Amino acid sequence: MVNVEKSFVNNMFSVEGKVAMVTGATGALGCVLAKAYGYAGAKVFMTGRNEKKLQALQDEFEAEGIDCAFFVADPQVEDDVKALVAACVAKYGEVNILAICHGYNKPANILDQSVEDWQFIMDADCKSVYIVCKYVAEQMVAQGKGGKMIVVTSQRSKRGMAGYTGYCTSKGGADLMVSSMACDLTAKYGINVNSLCPTVFRSDLTEWMFDPDSEVYKNFLKREPIGRLAEPSDFVGFALFLSSEASAFMTGANYDCSGGYLTC
């Protein structure tokens, strides 16, 4: 007899009724993933540092019938994160999915970059991931239902780049942290932890790279077998997959979401 259940196959990609916390929700990727979770039937709890933008997102989402809320917090500040988790639990009773979408970079040659600027990048992209995951993990363990954590890092975690001694180091650290957290959290507590590693995707900061006549764009395409740069919506499927039971046997991994960037 074939050992697979129809109910599992029919529902394995569902996040219906789950509570999804999204950090960096005001960013180009965070807002797209937050809305996607809402479209998929999850309750969405958004966070970022800009209250005005968060309120605008809540208004937009609620107009489309999405159950959502927000809390202003800086993910680098431990007390902010504790309050963030408490606010989510007060609103929805639990946290089932964590999608970390915040990030920061300030490129500079190591000879020009101050130690303070390098440390800020590390705190923004690595320490903050630790803080958020730690307190969300504590909540998930207390709930006793397991959970899903998805951390957006970068292909720069796998490759060095001039001017990126801070960013590459922070993203590499975050990827290795993901693997280590999985060793702590998955077998014992049922919390799957994975990262998505994109290359450049469209945002206010990267829009200039999308000019098809620019040398930057042409150089990128030399290493993009998919033939284009990414849109934030390109990562929705993978994020929902890693948030659902379809990925129950996947943890501790850093997944290539780059259009084949590492193959060329």
Which residues have a catalytic role annotated? 167
Answer for the pair 21, 47: CB distance below 8 angstroms, yes or no: yes
DSSP for 45-87, written as a single string: EEEES-HHHHHHHHHHHHHTT--EEEEE--TT-HHHHHHHHHH
133 contacts 193 by C-beta, under 8 angstroms: yes
Instruction: Find the helix or strand (DSSP H, E) in which 243 lies.
Output: helix 236-243
- The neighbour count for residue 72, using CB atoms within 10 Å, is 17
Give the residue from 113, 47, 54 showing the smallest Cα distance to 83: 47
Nearest to residue 147, comparing CAs of 111, 110, 116, 190? Answer: 190
Measured in degrees and rounded to the nearest 5, phi and psi for residue 219 equal: -65, -40
- Cα gap 240→211, rounded to integer Å: 30
Measured in degrees and rounded to the nearest 5, phi and psi for residue 55 equal -65, -40
- Of the candidates 124, 257, 260, the one whose C-alpha atom is nearest the C-alpha of residue 198 is 257
